[in-house]
Amino acid sequence: MKLLKQKVINEGIVLAKGVLKVDSFLNHQMDPFLMREIGREFKALFAEEKITKVLTIESSGIAPGIMTALELEVPLIFARKQKSLTLTEDIYVEKVYSFTKRETNEITVSKKFIAPGERVLIVDDFLANGEAAFGLARIVEQAGAAVAGIGIVIEKSFQPGRDLLLKAGYRVESLVRIASLEDERVVFVGEV
């Protein structure tokens, strides 16, 4: 996705240990025009999948998730990381380790929002080791629903997430794939 690549090149900041900071357009301040294009791109990629819901994780997945859901004309569900006084019963719970934050969270989704037989598209901002995607997929499968695919905004292809998800049988579509963040430089898959 050309617009997203340009944003990564122009505004992304490479930090130590394989971390790409994109807080100026994706996960702190958000570019609504970019989010709209992300939603359109995921719709085009997954148009034939008969998706009934989009599922993401708070908070960075919400913007691309809601725009994808809007384009697909289906509801968005987001898994909560924070405990809620109103979400304590009839929930799916999974543990997910965050590569960037270096912490494990329990994510929760109300059982009333995913029904058996539904076709759920998982959308997330980053793919590194696949922990968030696997946690969300386990929730979908606990509900008796199907993972129709996994849409990733930015994939760090030098980490094992994509290969692990593909090996587990999931369809993974990433809008931007990064081969390397060595020497504080972004190198996309397919570049020399």
pLDDT digits over 41-75, tens only?
A: 999 999 999 999 999 999 899 999 999 999 999 99
58 is in an annotated binding site: no
Determine the average pLDDT of the residues in 168-184.
96
Are 77 and 113 in contact by the 8 Å Cβ rule? The answer is: yes
CB atoms closer than 10 angstroms to residue 15: 12
**Hey, CA dihedral for 120, 125, 128, 131, is it positive or negative?**
negative
pLDDT digits over 6-17, tens only?
A: 999 999 999 977
Angle at 166 between CA 179 and CA 173, to 5 degrees: 60
pLDDT score of 62: 96
Residues 105 and 156: their CA atoms lie apart, in Å, by 21
129 is in an annotated binding site: yes
Residue 80: name the closest of 94, 68, 67 by CA: 94
Residues 21 and 17: their CA atoms lie apart, in Å, by 12
Rounded to 5 degrees, what are φ and ψ at 81? -95, -30
130 is in an annotated binding site: yes
105 is in an annotated binding site: no
pLDDT score of 18: 82
Residue 153: name the closest of 11, 22, 58 by CA: 22
For residues 141, 145, 151, 154, the Cα torsion angle rounded to the nearest 10 degrees is -30
Q: How confident is the model at residue 84 (pLDDT cuts 50, 70, 90)?
A: low
Chain CA centroid to CA 80, Å: 14
Residues recorded for the chain? 192
Domains and CATH numbers, the chain: 2-188 (3.40.50.2020)
69 is in an annotated binding site: no
CB atoms closer than 10 angstroms to residue 117: 10
106 is in an annotated binding site: no
Residue 38: name the closest of 60, 65, 17, 8 by CA: 65
pLDDT digits over 116-146, tens only?
A: 999 999 999 999 999 999 999 999 999 999 9
The first and second tokens of residue 159, run together, are 């980490």
Determine the average pLDDT of the residues in 150-156.
98
CB atoms closer than 10 angstroms to residue 25: 20
